[in-house]
Each structure stands twice: as structure tokens, then as C-alpha cells.
Structure 1
Amino acid sequence: MNTNDTNSEKANFIDHLARRMTWPRFFFALGLIVFWTTIIFPFYWMVSSSFKTGEQMAGRAPVFVPTELRWDAYLELFDPSPEYTRYLWNHVWYRLLGGYNIQFDAPRERFQDFGVNVINSLFVAVPTALIAVILSMLGAYAVARLNFRGKDFLLNSILIIYLFPGILLIIPLFAMLSQLSQYVGVEVQDNLPVLIFTYLAQTLPVALYMLANYFRTIPDEIEQAALIDGCTRLGVIWRVTMPLAVPALVSVAIYTFMIAWNEFLYALVFLNDRFMFTMPIKINAIFNDPSPRMEVVMAASTVMSLPVMVLFLALERFLAEGLSAGGVKG
């Protein structure tokens, strides 16, 4: 009797599910499963693997949930001691003011000194984003508002750089910078400002294109009224255009920040000193170690991913508006 009741309940549940499962709901559920397995699960695997042991990572059977949260991989990347904190502050001072470079004597045999690489990435990504926003804002305003011959051709031709892969442009760019360094007296390799320049060459075209299309959606009458009231062109940009273009400016800033934060190829070519490595190069060095520890690689990848995710989630509303308006050609 109990078996028959159980079978009846299963049959009723299947019939109820079949009646409710329409084709649109089926495809929605299928798309949701694909989304979770291709996007969310790899991120979960990266974060959970950073808390696993080396044995769990190397085992044949996959461990989906770590038995305990082990911080060994993160302790190999960072040292929680006050001495290491002072050492990192000294590295910040060294990057900002050109002070003395000191080394940290790690108490452990294996210590990656990943905090230095985080600081190097910040000193590359933040200036790249700020400079790209300022330059692209001025250039996009000129294209969108000023009348000069060939401005449409100029706006469209700057995107030609994206027809070529980055590896094709890196050789002539490196040769050009090497020739300029002989006259300026600046080393090309192991020089973070030079790396910032190369990132600007990659990000400025799209940033200018996005902002120019966004500026065209701003009514010209508002700026004309400000000019009649006595504002200069720079005053109009500062007092009128910039407040109205905040979503686009935020989108450009996050876009250029992510490019510089995650970029690998140009950093690999221009940086040779491990003390100058950005995070992608350091993660690659850990991965290619003769005795690689994948849990440390996953921990470093987690540290690298979290700031961009937090930045994206915090400024998501600006991104949605800025990208949608900037993507429509005016």
C-alpha cells in the first residue's frame, strides 16, 4: 500500500511538472543551467580550490567542497606580519616618490611576495584609467561638438587599430619606444610608465569612440546656453558636459582599468624584473614553477578577480546606461 502511494505521488508530480513545463520555460531553464555551468561554476571552482590542500588538488577524484577552509595558499602570497605591512608601504612610497627599494626577508621557505605585484598592478591600472578618461573626454568632445574637416573619418579610422591583433602591434611599438628611449634617456623595459603608455595605445580608440557617441546624445542647446552665459569651452565641459556624461565616463574608466588590470602580453614583453611584475605575470610565474602548486595559483587568481568584480557590481547602473548610450552611433 505504501509503495503504491509513493508511485502515485511520483506520477502526480511528473504529470504536474509536464503540464507546467512549457517550451519557453524549458529553454529558460536550459539557458540557466548553461549559464551556471559555464560562468558561475568556474568562478566557484577557483575560489574553492584556493582553500584546498595540494593533495586534494592533485587527486583523481574532484573535491567540489573543501573539507575545511585552509589559508595556506593565501599565507604563501601574503605575510600578515606588521613588518610585511611596513614593507608594502615602503614599496608604495618607492613607486610614488622614487625612494629606496628594500627586500622583505620572508620567514617561510616559499613566499611569493604577491603584495608587491598587487601594488604594481594598481600603479599601472589606475593611471591608465584616469589618463584615458581625460584624454578621450577632450578628444570625444572635439569630435562631437566642434566642426572641422575630416572629423567623421578621424573617428572611424581610430578603430582600425582593433582590426589587428595585439601581438602584431607589439613588435613595432616596442621598436618605436626603443628608438625614442635613446633620445629621451628612459629605459623601455622594467618601466611601468612605459607600460602605461602601451595600454593607452590600446584603450584610447574605443574610449574616444564610446564618449563621442555619448556626447552626441546630450542636447547641444544646454551647452549653447552655458556659452551664452559666459562659460568657456573648458568651463562647459567641466560644469555641463561632465556631470551629464558620468555614466559614460564611469564605463570608460572601468573598461580601461580592466584592460590594464588583466593585460598579460605587453607586460610579459616589457617587464623582466620580478620586482616589477604585475599580477598576471606573477601568476604565470607561479604556474610555471618547477613544482607548481595549483592552490596558490587559484588563490592569486581569486585576489586578482575580486577587485574587478566589486568595482563592476558597485557601478553596474552606470555601466548599463553608459554602454547602451555609447554604443548607439549618433
Structure 2
Amino acid sequence: MQIAYGYQDLQLMSTALQYDIFTGLSEAPKTAEAISCKIGTDHIITEKMLNALVSIGLLFRSNGEYHNTEISEIYLSQKSPYYQGNYIKTQKMISFGTSSYGDWAEIGEALKNGYLPASKDGFRLYDKIFSLSMKEMAIRGEAQETAEVVSCYPWFKDARRMIDIGGTHGIYSIALLARNPKLGGTLFDIPGVTELGNAIEHFKQYEVSDRIRIQNGNFFKKTDLGSGYDLAFISNVYFLRTADDLLDNIHDALNSCGRFVLKNSVIRKDRNGPLISSLLDLDMCFWSENHQLYSVDECIDLIEPHGFEIENVSMLEGCCLGTIAILIFKKVS
């Protein structure tokens, strides 16, 4: 029965984010009356909502005042570098039918009529909140863990040029650059996307603007990514059934014996889980018939014929987009 209350829990949390309650409580604890006066809401309903937030562990009450819990202070206050508000807003839009790019409120229609791909103008790629939610997922720990895995290999210490393909916000580039002070490179993405992800601002914030540049283009089609790269990296963009152009572009961009690092959500080979991966695979009914989630073995089988050889596989558990595999391929031909 707890599953049936998931709607209310998410709606409650997203409404509190809408009124920026957690950021306000980062400044100082407040009474229900003080909060309702500040945000301009009904006092009685505000107090009921605050009590509900206490009941789900996002606030606590002491001496008549409401305080953030530790998890709210870290992830729900805009004063925190680990703020996850845009990620939660994205989940609400997808779940409750308020997005312009396909949502779970239409899953019954998809079940009956087939795929319900969004229009180009509404695709998640071009959505500001979605782009920032991807940054929030990365900075919560996935980027740091990924960089730790990749940097442990001897070849990484000798790498001098990398290309981050589809990196949007640049957080993975920043994490990798931090592990190798001699590394520089390129963030390559579809025109307009890096602006939505605030990549330039992030490069300035982490003081790597002089080590990385932005290049625009459609990497899913045959295009020139440049050449002479020691490392090509992509994160959670490998969901196409036919990605031959992407793989050939990466192959052409790498030096002899260069490495291609794929960090991607994966599903078990029998496609029965884990849960978040299964839900993500189903979510792709709003993308196109050409999208699906792959198992590790399927990724290897699809990529190796394009002139690569698998070297290592590492797994990250407990990520926002389910089980993550980090596959390291070596260019061999």
C-alpha cells in the first residue's frame, strides 16, 4: 500500500520546493505562521503541510519551530552545492503529466497504441530543468565515483586530451580534469544544450576554463569530432538501437590505442530489473522506437565491432538512474 502513497509524497516535496521552504529554513528555523507569512500562503494549510513534511522525515519540529533535517539541508536547500530540486521537479513533470515531453500519466495510452515520442521542440534534451537535473545527479556523487574509477588505470595518467561527448553541464569533464592536471579537452554537445546546462559557468566555478573548450554538433550523426584524443567519454546517452555513426565518430576521434569510456545505465540480461533500470527502460516508450536500455553484454557486443576491445567493467550501485556500468574500451583498429 505504501506505493499508492508515492504520488502524495512526491507532490508534497515538490510543492515545498516550489515555495522554497527548505532554503528559507536554512537561514533560520521558523514557526508555521512565520513561514506562511513569508511565502504568502494560508496559515492553516501551511501548518498541515509542514507537519506532513515532518512525518516523512524532511523537517523536524522543536519548540514550535520547524527545522530542516540533515537530508533536506544537503539536498533540498538551494544554499547547498548538492541541491537536487531540479531533479525532483523533473520527476514530478514526468510522473504527473505536466511535462511537454512525454510522461507516465500516458503510460496506458502507450500500452494500447505503442510508442508516444515527444516532438522535437518538447524533447527533454532542450529543457532547462531537465538539463540542470542531470547536473544535480552527477554532482551528488556519480561524477566523483566515475572519475575515481577511470583515474585508477595507468593509461589515464598519460592522457593529455579528452572529449566529453553529450556532457551538457560539464561536471564529468571537471571531475576527470581534477584527477589529471595535465589533461585538457573538449565538451562536445548538440547546439544550445551546454547553455541549458550552464557548462561555461561550471568551468569558471571550478577554474578549468583554460583547459577545456565547447564544440557544437550532432554526434549521433556522422560528424567530425576532431582527432588526436586519448580519451573519449560519454555518460548516459547510449540508448539507441542504431548508434553506428556515434561509435564511428568516437573511433575516428581517438588516437591509436586511445580509450573509449562508456558510463551508462544498464539492465540485467533477462531485463527483469533492477527496479529503477526496468522503469527507465519502460520510460523510453516516450522517447522513440529506437531507444532501449542495454545489458553490459549487449553494450559490448554492439561496440566491439566498431574497432574497440573491452578492457574493464566496473559497476556503480544506488545511482539515480539505476545500476550504472563503466565500460572501458581500447581502440584496436
TM-score by shorter chain over 0.5: no
- Structure with bigger helix share is 1
Larger Cα-atom Rg: 1
Higher relative contact order (CA 8 A, sep 6+): 1
TM-score w.r.t. structure 1 length? 0.22
